[in-house]
Amino acid sequence: MIFRNRPLARFGAAALLASGAFTVLGAPAYAAGAETDLSLDVVGARVAAGASGKIAFAKVTNNGKNTPSTLGIRADVSKVDFDKVAAVPIVDECDIEGEGETPTAWVCSVPKEALPGPGETIEVPLAVFKTGEKLDGTYEAPMNVTLVSPDDTDDSNNSKDVTVELTDESGPDLTVFAPDVKQAVKVTSDGEISVVGDLRAGETGQLLYMVANQGDQAVAGLKLTIKLPKGVTFTETERDCAVNSANTEAVCTYGDFPLIPVDQDEDGDDKQFSAAEFYHLLSVAGDVKAGALTGGSVTVEGILPERGVKAFTKEAKNLPANATGMSGADVDASDNTDGYAVVVAATGGAGGGDGDEGGLPVTGPQAGLIGGIGGTVLLAGGVMFLVSRRRRVVLVTPGDERPTA
């Protein structure tokens, strides 16, 4: 199955502002016993010369032992020239400050069901896109992002100064998004994968992550490095992945899997992709304690065509076992790595068990590639879709993945 759509981030965010679709953020209510320590990071605010814009992320991590009662994210954009570039959130429940059409700040509330528990991270997508029809040279502007929560006990890590930058640099700009792993899955004899409840010790989870090219040049292939938290191992090995002896880190090289820039992904029926979703099945040790197992990460590097080689095909074909080419520089390396946690629920309640929320057939190419996704739509709104999705098509060629001993 291929999830695709076209123009979107630059127009969708502007439409939200114009339509007044943001709702007013109410005053947060304090809940006793919710004290915790939240930290903030912001990545991906540097735009390639030939790109119309991109999606950045505000990442909020819960370093404490409780879930906050409320959480807001405020961005001061008073020094950003909206005649040149816009920096706006792509979420609901936001209050825009400022007069006229140009905001000076915005504040967005995190829905209760999305509040990060201990050890968890949530990522709020932000659209950074060019608004002028023609921009000569480069442009930089400061933006400050701050967390707003009555429950936070340490405000030293609640604020981040970010530079919104339109560069004169061309090249690929790969972004990786890896949500926390919270649910158990089962694989049937027919190859169907279905979510069956909260993830518990001794069960199997599914790490899903997305890679997109938000630059202005294509890559010929991808090199992915996947690190697992302590207490978690890979359930199976894959043809193009080298796994360490502890079965906790994999380097997957796809030398013949090009990703074109999002702005160039205009035909929903071709095999030129600007983004793709991958998966790995993970085994949680039976003796781990309930809670968030932190330390997992996914890092992406682009493989450029070899020097001296003329035009290369931009269509995705069968992925080879070995890569050809060389690693290429990325216009914005700040969003090339994303951390994640594997969240293990306590015993009792709605666990994995034998339940079944429905599955979808396993077909297609190996490597857990779910398909080329029109990058803008998935990045602009589908990030939330990826987190909440319950039924997924997993594309695997029989024999490509092998259970680990």
pLDDT in tens, 254-263: 988 898 998 8
Q: Mean of the pLDDT values across residues 321-327?
A: 36
125: Cα within 13 Å, side-chain hemisphere = 29
Looking at CATH, the fold of the domain delimited by 174-403 is given as Immunoglobulin-like (2.60.40)
Position 7 confidence tier, pLDDT thresholds 50, 70, 90: very low
Q: Give the pLDDT score at 355.
A: 46
What does the angle CA 244 – CA 246 – CA 251 come to, to the nearest 5 degrees?
25
CATH no., domain 9-166: 2.60.40.10
Q: Give the pLDDT score at 257.
A: 86
Residue 25 has pLDDT above 90, yes or no: no
Round to whole Å and give the CA distance between 82 and 91. Answer: 19
DSSP 8-state assignment for residue 319: P
Percent of the chain exceeding pLDDT 90 equals 45
Residue whose entry in the numeric block shows the structure tokens 């609901």 = 92
The residue ranges of every structural domain in the chain are: 9-166, 174-403
Question: SS3 for 166?
Answer: strand
Round to whole Å and give the CA distance between 377 and 13. Answer: 11
Q: pLDDT, tens digit, for every residue of 326-369?
A: 344 789 999 999 999 999 999 865 555 544 443 332 222 222 22
Q: Which of 92-96, 168-172, 249-253, 393-397 has the lowest mean pLDDT?
A: 393-397
Higher pLDDT, 395 or 342: 342
Q: Does 174-403 match 9-166 at the fold level? A: yes
**pTM for this predicted structure:** 0.78
Position 315 confidence tier, pLDDT thresholds 50, 70, 90: low
β-pairing, 326-328 with 337-344?
unpaired
Round to whole Å and give the CA distance between 372 and 257. Answer: 10
Backbone angles phi, psi at 306, to 5 degrees: -65, 150
Q: How far is CA 40 from the centre of its chain?
A: 16
Higher pLDDT, 249 or 306: 249
Q: pLDDT, tens digit, for every residue of 99-118?
A: 766 789 999 898 888 899 99
In order, the DSSP letters of 26-88 are: PPPPP-TT--B-EEEEEE--EE-TT-SEEEEEEEEEE-SSS--S--EEEEE-TTS-TTTEEEE
Round to whole Å and give the CA distance between 249 and 283. Answer: 13
